[in-house]
Amino acid sequence: MAVAAFKKLWKNEYFQTAVTILLILSIVFGLWYGVQFALNTEHPALAVASTSMLPTLKVGDLIIVQGVPPDQIHANYLDGDIVVFRNKSNPEELIVHRAVRIENTSSGYVIYTKGDNVPGERDQFSPWPASLLVGKVLGKIPWIGNLALLMQSKANMYMFIIVIIVLIVLFLMFPFESEKEEKQSEKTEKWKEKKLIGKISFNMIYLLIVNILIVSFIAFSLWGAFAFWQPGANPAQNVPIHGMYPDVEFHGSFSNVHEVYLISSFLTYTINANVSDGSHEGVRLGVPTFSWAQAAIILLIVVDVWELLKFLRLKKKAETAIEIQKPILTE
């Protein structure tokens, strides 16, 4: 009886929708806590809000942080680890700077840090105890940290919540396809495959639009640039969005930078700079940066190969159907 009731409930479209939403939320939270465990920190991803680490880190970059003990921090003026730590006067505030010196004292490790955009040799802050250390920066993902910064504004947060609620309501109003709707969907797919102009079908136009969008994104992620007002920055300011090559030019625009080196690898690139800052001169190491262009190229290949295989399967299926019908047509 209970099994029959459960089967009946499972066939309910709204129940299936609710289960799907819960499953999505479970996956999201599971991934978040899984990343926290894997990186050994409660703050595995943080949005950069200030300009103190320019040009290495820009406002809106999402930095990936790994929790490490203080004795594993490499401290140096040019190639030291970039670390995240709590502000001594306000532990809720997190700061990201480069470790320039570390000392092992009788009371434990103390770390000196400095922002790459802070002129001169002085430390940006007085030494802080290693107990305030959150972790070191492993890499960054450009741009998307701006979403988190926008959510810091109450008005934007309320707007975001309203949009989510509206999307959920719309999702509930249009639940999973019933059997009747699935048949109608199959008819629609066949209709889409009909020729629109000559040999051009709706599916071909759809694939062309997707290709144009992805190629446009690839072009922007390599050569694009624009700026917008970011109220979540500290302080609020115009924030630049740079593609890879404009980012290289941006690094070279600083007065203490003599030469810039772009190093590319799989799905990442790093921009190092030859700098002269006071008594320190040499190559300042950048941060491995997620390459949107490479990721989009991979997506483009996957989409096109998938559509090609889909076309070949349909073609083979159609040829098989014709072969089956041939004896009937010859009688």
Residue 18: the pLDDT is: 73
In 3D, which of 288, 292, 251 has the Cα closest to residue 273?
251
Residue 14: the pLDDT is: 66
In 3D, which of 214, 216, 188, 215 has the Cα closest to residue 203?
188
Segment (H or E) for 205: helix 202-223
Q: For every one of its 331 residues, what pLDDT tens digit does the chain have, with 9 covering 90 and above?
A: 566 666 666 666 666 677 777 887 788 788 888 989 999 999 999 999 999 999 999 999 999 999 999 999 999 989 999 999 999 889 889 999 999 999 998 888 999 999 999 876 554 557 899 999 999 999 999 999 998 898 876 666 667 778 777 776 666 665 544 444 555 555 555 545 555 555 667 778 888 999 999 999 999 999 999 999 998 898 999 999 999 999 999 999 998 999 999 999 999 999 999 998 777 899 999 999 999 999 999 999 999 999 888 888 877 777 677 767 655 544 4
Residue 11: the pLDDT is: 64
CA atoms within 13 A on the CB side of 305: 6
For residue 156, the Cα-to-chain-centroid distance in whole angstroms is 20
Report yes or no: 83 and 135 within 8 Å, Cβ to Cβ: yes
Residue 176: the pLDDT is: 47
SS3 (DSSP) at 111: strand
Report yes or no: 97 and 137 within 8 Å, Cβ to Cβ: no
Phi, psi angles (nearest 5°) of residue 282: 160, -165
pTM of the complete model: 0.82
**96 bridge partner residues:** 84
- Both structure tokens of 331: 């009688």
Residue 32: the pLDDT is: 81
The residue ranges of every structural domain in the chain are: 2-39, 45-146
Question: Rounded to an integer, what distance in angstroms lies between the CA atom of residue 136 and that of residue 64?
Answer: 8
Residue 121: the pLDDT is: 57
Question: Rounded to an integer, what distance in angstroms lies between the CA atom of residue 200 and that of residue 193?
Answer: 9
Classify domain 45-146 by CATH number.
2.10.109.10
Residue 312: the pLDDT is: 83
Residue 198: the pLDDT is: 56
At 135, the amino acid letter reads: G
